[in-house]
Amino acid sequence: MNDASRTQPIIECPFLQTEGTDGVDHLVRLAADVCKAPMAGLALVESGRVLWRSGVGMGGGESAFCLRALSQDAPLTIGNACEDAHFHDHPWVVGEPHVRAFIGAPLLALDGKPHGVLCIWDTHPRSFSESDIRAVAGLGRALTAHLDLLSHTAALESRLIRYGEDEALLQDQINWINNYGRDLEVRAARLEAINARLEALAKLDGMTGLKNHRAFQERLETEFQRAARYSMPLSLLLLDVDHFKSFNDSYGHLAGDEVLKALAQVLQESARGLDFVARYGGEEFVMILPHADHLGAIGIGERMRTGIEAAAWPNRPITASIGVATLTRGMERPSDLIAQADRALYASKANGRNLVTHAKNLVEE
């Protein structure tokens, strides 16, 4: 579809005045989470006007980016707005909120008419990955289906009111609603499956396939509260790849990425079934160890350290320094456990690397 066919998009939006549209806000928030972007919004377009339905991290509305994305059949991506011919002098680029990257997915009904645009902005230049583009396109389709459902529901309610006095027509409408209700259930189930998949993707590290930092923080909060409530042991293991920067400098970042992927697999294969393994950030990894006291945690840490050291690595041997901490009565927040593990990790690195150090031993020394 070309630009001319969308210069005056006309959309009937009776659902804007109805309840039950929380799903729209949820999908918009999910778009921001999946793309790890600070700003996202849903714009509905009517007669060339942009009407904002939902927004995350936005202080006000904007139309130029949205109308540009509306002219596309696939998501529009802009890696650096400062270098884009259309937007280099846009107020949002030269001033607050200093937009740099943008991805927008047009929302098209089955008949080709535009509902609007799902927009995501970032304040840093970036290249959107294929998974980002697929996720945004999928969310756009989910929003389109959701808006279609709301619109059709409003149309049905209007028909019921209009023909409420005609018993025969009312019965026909009831039959039609029953049939359509079954279709809505199928669509709702599909939307729920899409939402669940996107929620899972938002908590995965794209490179290693492990859980990401966000998922780790959520799980640690849960395990910390459970251990504190039921007086159960809980330990945390923080791991850092030794001399990783020099490895990247010598063999390149692609080779470094392969090391992180292989190390993640070693950790997964060596972990117990109840352990939680995640990428903490950069070359750091973290493991939550439920039901592990300080001796058990040291043993698990040594198993991880020796497993990494013994693995077959290309280019040169790889080792890791590990810091371990175990929950004590003096710890009030999950961040206390992280701080102790980080302190122990620093000691392992300071004492020659390729070591496992428990925070308890630092106190006793």
**Which sequence positions are flagged as catalytic?**
283
Q: With beta carbons less than 8 A apart as the criterion, state whether 103 and 36 touch.
A: no
Neighbouring C-beta atoms of residue 178, cutoff 10 Å: 9
Cα–Cα distance list, 27 to 89, 115, 119 (Å): 30, 15, 12
* 138-142 own/partner pairs: CB under 8 Å, 24+ apart: 138/194, 138/198, 139/27, 139/30, 139/31, 139/34, 139/105, 139/194, 139/198, 140/75, 140/105, 140/106, 140/107, 142/27, 142/191, 142/194, 142/195
Q: Tell me how far apart the alpha carbons of residues 214 and 232 are, in angstroms, rounded to a whole number.
A: 24
Tell which residue, 37, 10, 42, has the closest CA to residue 23.
Answer: 42
Q: Tell me how far apart the alpha carbons of residues 351 and 336 are, in angstroms, rounded to a whole number.
A: 23
Contacts of 212 (CB under 8 A, 6+ apart): 203, 204, 205, 278, 279
